[in-house]
Amino acid sequence: MNSLLKAENVHKSFNGVNALNNFSCDVHENEIVGLIGPNGAGKSTLFNVITGFIESENGNIEFIGKVITKYPSHKIIKLGISRTFQDLRLIKQMSVLDNILLCFNNQQGEELQNIIFKSNSIAKVEEENKLKAHDLLRHAGIEEKANDLAGTLSYGQQKLLSIICCLAADSKLLLLDEPIAGINPEMREKILTIISELPSKGKSVILIEHDMDFTMRICNRLIFMDAGYKISEGTPEEVRNDPKVIEAYIQ
Ligand SMILES: Nc1ncnc2c1ncn2[C@@H]1O[C@H](COP(=O)(O)OP(=O)(O)O)[C@@H](O)[C@H]1O
Ligand SMILES: [Mg+2]
């Protein structure tokens, strides 16, 4: 399997507390890697460092063979990594459709020369993006919500929308931070289906999730981390049965 993302010895501390302790991991093409561990283990920090929201103190991150360690977020997104946030970060006063449209990676409109010289092609791309956004909403079963304000959706639907926004970027790698936390069983199944289809569409996922059953069902591999360290890594079965993991969960 080809390597997609490689993080090596990534280190980040906050006020003397090591959130990432020389952490290394690999993600291959077309796989779902579950990142599990207690609160404060450093899971979201890893996402922040990979996506350029936080700069690591040490270490190296490569994506498709390119060193991205010092890249700013917008460049990393363009290269093909998108993410959701634990606290969602939707624009609640905008429509569901507009939230999705903001996330497409193919927009040319921001540059002045494009506005002046390419208005027809911009309009065409925007029209195509709208169609794709409706397709994504239809696939997720919430197309009727397209024109509603994002803030009026239920919490589960907002979680689903944040995943749809992530899909709109058509990235090779999706980083999903607790996509099913706090939502009902029906919505969990829907989200499980959407995530589990991604490898067959040429995408890889790192999934932060506390629910062991969910990760066991959906992940090809699991990484268990605690206090910024990688404690265990392997198939879901191997990690679940690792005495170090059992000990950490019982404590
Ligand atoms: N921006 C920040 N400023 C200060 N401390 C932070 C920040 N982000 C994370 N931390 C600390 O880093 C550690 C790891 O946090 P986090 O990555 O959010 O853990 P997890 O996602 O596994 O629950 C925690 O001790 C947390 O308090
Ligand atoms: Mg977190």
Domain ranges of the chain: 1-80+171-251, 90-169
For 19, 31, 88, the CA distances from 195, given in Å and listed in that order, are 27, 11, 17
Q: How far apart are CA 163 and CA 161, in angstroms?
A: 5
Mean pLDDT for 188-209 is 96
| Residue range 1-80+171-251, CATH number | 3.40.50.300
Check pLDDT > 70 for residue 46. Answer: yes
Specify the pLDDT at position 88: 83
Please state whether the predicted TM-score (pTM) of the whole model is above 0.85.
yes
Specify the pLDDT at position 251: 60
Q: Tell the residue nearest (CA) to atom 25 of ligand 1.
A: 40
| Ligand 2 centroid distance, CA of 43 (Å) | 5
Per-residue DSSP letter, 15 = T
How far is CA 98 from its chain centroid? Answer: 20
**Minimum-distance ligand 1 atom for the alpha carbon of 46:** 17
**Minimum-distance ligand 1 atom for the alpha carbon of 17:** 25
In this predicted model, what pLDDT tens digit does every residue of 213-230 receive, in sequence order?
899 999 999 999 999 999
| Ligand 2 centroid distance, CA of 178 (Å) | 8
Check pLDDT > 70 for residue 85. Answer: yes
Mean pLDDT for 33-38 is 96
Task: With cut-offs at 50, 70 and 90, classify the pLDDT of residue 185.
Answer: very high
Check pLDDT > 80 for residue 244. Answer: yes
Amino acid at 10: V
Check pLDDT > 90 for residue 133. Answer: yes
Extract the runs of DSSP E, i.e. beta strands, from the chain. 3-14, 17-28, 32-36, 58-63, 66-67, 81-83, 173-177, 204-208, 221-226, 229-234
| Ligand 1 centroid distance, CA of 43 (Å) | 8
Task: With cut-offs at 50, 70 and 90, classify the pLDDT of residue 109.
Answer: low
Q: Tell the residue nearest (CA) to atom 5 of ligand 1.
A: 14
Closest by CA to 199, choosing from 5, 32, 30, 4, is 30
Specify the pLDDT at position 196: 97
Q: Tell the residue nearest (CA) to atom 2 of ligand 1.
A: 14
Q: Which residues line ligand 1 (CB under 6 A)?
A: 14, 17, 19, 37, 39-45
Q: Tell the residue nearest (CA) to atom 3 of ligand 1.
A: 14
Mean pLDDT for 116-142 is 87
Residue 9 zone, left/alpha/beta (φ > 0; ψ -120 to 50; rest)? left
Specify the pLDDT at position 116: 64
Q: DSSP for 98-165?
A: HHHHTT-S---TTSHHHHHH-HHHHHHHHHHHHHHHHHHHHHHT-GGGTTSBGGGS-HHHHHHHHHHH
- What value does the mean pLDDT of the chain take? 93
Task: With cut-offs at 50, 70 and 90, classify the pLDDT of residue 173.
Answer: very high
Mean pLDDT for 222-247 is 94
Specify the pLDDT at position 113: 65
Mean pLDDT for 150-173 is 96
